Chain A
Amino acid sequence: MIEVGEYKIKEGLYYTKEHEWVQVLEDGTVLVGITDYAQKELGDLAYVELPEVGKVVEKGDVLCEVESVKAVSEVYAPVSGEVIEVNEELADSPEKINEDPYEAWIAKIKPKNLEEELKELMDAKAYAEYLKTL
């Protein structure tokens, strides 16, 4: 873990400027979640609107919404592809994202252009530098 102030950044993941993380699995699919910075900014989550399995997204499209006491926030797809699984656990327990944002993934995506799109994402170090500028 890299730490910037109170925010933790997990190494080995890819990051977006909108504070989503991407974990590439061995079978070539990816897990998507929101970062520690995102969950701390949102505060206690009250609701996660999970995307539908089968939903096809382009990078940058709205993947789903998360809702905290403070605000409703959109989660953007960090890569293009098809949603093949969602973390059902979050429907009843959105607080899992607050407890461990890098464990509580939101959706599993079968990417269609991963290699290219990963180049546009930040690694943990670059994301840490980015957080320092906010």
Chain B
Amino acid sequence: MFRQAKWDEPLIFELSRPGRVGYTLPKPIEDIKVDIPEKLRRKSKLELPELSEPEIVKHYTRLSEMNYGVDSGIYPLGSCTMKYNPKINEEIATHPKVAYIHPYQDERTVQGALAIMWELEQWLKEITGMDRFTLQPAAGANGEFTGVMIIRAYHLDNGEPQRNEMLVPDSAHGTNPASAAMAGFKVIEIPSNENGTIDLEALENAVSERTAGLMLTNPNTLGIFEDEIVEIAKIIHKAGGLLYYDGANLNGILGKIRPGDMGFDIVHLNLHKTFSTPHGGGGPGAGPVGVKEFLKDYLPVPLVSYDEKSGRYYLDYNVPKSIGKVKELYGNFAVLVRALTYLKIMGRDGLREVSEIAVLNANYLTQKLKGTRGYSLPGKELRKHEVVFSAEPMKKETGVKALDVAKRLLDFGMHAPTIYFPLIVHEALMIEPTETVSKEELDAYVEALKRISEEAYTNPEIVKSAPHNTAVKRVDDVLAAKKPIVTWRMYKELKEKGEVDY
């Protein structure tokens, strides 16, 4: 039986005791003359917690025991690709020769760092079938924004400012319409057909001389490969639009087929998904954007280029129609290092195996869970790297919702899947196991979901009131959204005023 640690752990500031230290500093030099203007001198004491080293270690160890991450167990958040982050990535990224450089150092002194970025770009080009990449975007949505800004610049440059409509399927990630709207596009939603893929007829009807492009995830968020992609690309290109690839689900096709060969003009990748760099709270992320040759002059600056004559890498600002910068400096460099480490260790054959096993795992889970009372399987049966079940029958028959199933899974020491997404599936449970879990872990996950189904039909209360075994019980997410308390200080103030009773 899983029982998560539950410590009544104060903030590190509350553990502070005046004068307690975990280090010794050399004596300050008294007679040194430093002319710091009065207005720049600190007036109040610097508020840092004062603790000894063992106190600090115990504090953070206790906090970590109340946490759950990819190092704890299965973490099958659909469309998030929460895969294991190999420790060698950390070793390379924290190597002094990599970590102790400064972004403003002279190019000649950071040739190794530039070579890392340049080499990573070559790998990403080969994997996606694109011609040039920027490594600057800090995450997937930042990459999407970069991509749609390039689409915008391209149409303006071609004298077609009227192309202001971005097509987005109804199964898309919410960030797609959001990024398109941020770039000033009007978002047109394209419905899915009963197979869970894009409705071609609706797409034909939606394109016009106002079409800027289509943003597509393939395999889509139902884990289904858009097998009419060649036709889709034809329709969009014929209408004068560009085809944008959301790389969130690249893990399902890695090493098998390339977005560039499917007809995509722009792709963004999530290094923190497909390429095993830390994800979410462990971030930051990286969302490189790749384009076909005819769009490379629009990429953000600087790019990393290689001059064969001098044999030197350099930061290339000569990008005539650049949309500008989308993040300061060159992107999250340490993340790029981790991704290249992963790529080099996996190699071509290893990367192909990633998608093969990711797809096998998702389908194994699908077949084992299929037919369990309360869960239905909308769309095609064969999936790529993820699967969406619906708890709609369970909700109708027992009142137990997808949210309750997700909370109950935590009681078994397993992370919940993505729920209530994609929006086209009611009571969605979107499961993406990734290639980094074993058959035994998959079996245990299916067993837990089956047991929850049994409980829903015999003892629904235990599911509805879950979780019971975690450090934190069911949270009031409505209250959290309505009345967010985002700092400890806010909490203390409200508590003193008697406005919160927890």
Chain A residues engaging chain B, CB cutoff 8 angstroms: 5-6, 41, 43-47, 67-71, 94-95
Contacts and interface: CB of A to CB of B under 8 A. Distances in A.
A17 to B, nearest CB: 13
Shortest Cβ-Cβ A-B pairs, 8 listed: A46-B481, A44-B478, A70-B420, A69-B477, A46-B482, A46-B478, A69-B478, A69-B481
Contacts of A67: 481
A71 B478 contact: no
22 contacts: A5-B396, A6-B396, A41-B426, A43-B403, A44-B477, A44-B478, A45-B478, A46-B478, A46-B481, A46-B482, A47-B481, A47-B482, A67-B481, A68-B478, A69-B477, A69-B478, A69-B481, A70-B420, A71-B420, A71-B423, A94-B482, A95-B478
B454 to A, nearest CB: 23
Contacts of A70: 420
Interface string B401-425: 0010000000000000000100100
Contacts of B420: 70-71
Nearest to B395: A6
Of listed A5, A45, A70, residue having the most chain B CB within 10 A? A70
Interface in B454-481: 477-478, 481
Contacts of B423: 71
Nearest to A94: B482
A46 B420 CA distance: 16
A22 B157 CA distance: 46
Contacts of A46: 478, 481-482
Range for the number of chain B residues in contact with chain A: under 10
B222 to A, nearest CB: 17
A68 B403 CA distance: 13
Nearest to B419: A70
A44 B426 CA distance: 16
B239 to A, nearest CB: 24
Contacts of A5: 396
Most chain A CB neighbours (cut-off 10 Å) among B403, B420, B423, B426: B420
Interface in B421-469: 423, 426
Contacts of A71: 420, 423
Contacts of B482: 46-47, 94
Nearest to B479: A46
A43 B428 CA distance: 14
A96 to B, nearest CB: 13
Most buried by A among B423, B477, B478: B478
A121 B242 CA distance: 37
A40 to B, nearest CB: 10
Interface string B467-502: 000000000011001100000000000000000000
Contacts of A41: 426
Nearest to B426: A41
A95 B476 CA distance: 14
Contacts of B478: 44-46, 68-69, 95
A41 B481 CA distance: 18
A89 to B, nearest CB: 14
A95 B426 CA distance: 21
Contacts of A6: 396
Contacts of B426: 41
B479 to A, nearest CB: 9
A121 to B, nearest CB: 21
Contacts of A68: 478
B392 to A, nearest CB: 10
A36 to B, nearest CB: 15
A67 B481 CA distance: 9
Given A44-B478, A47-B482, A95-B478, 17 more contacts: A6-B396, A43-B403, A44-B477, A45-B478, A46-B478, A46-B481, A46-B482, A47-B481, A67-B481, A68-B478, A69-B477, A69-B478, A69-B481, A70-B420, A71-B420, A71-B423, A94-B482
Contacts of B481: 46-47, 67, 69
A39 to B, nearest CB: 13
Nearest to B482: A46
Interface string B170-188: 0000000000000000000
Interface string B226-251: 00000000000000000000000000
B417 to A, nearest CB: 14
A106 B403 CA distance: 27
B402 to A, nearest CB: 9
B94 to A, nearest CB: 38
Contacts of A43: 403
A94 B423 CA distance: 22
Interface in B40-93: none
A35 to B, nearest CB: 16
A69 B396 CA distance: 20
Contacts of A45: 478
A6 B440 CA distance: 39
A45 B482 CA distance: 9
A121 B138 CA distance: 46
Interface string B388-405: 000000001000000100
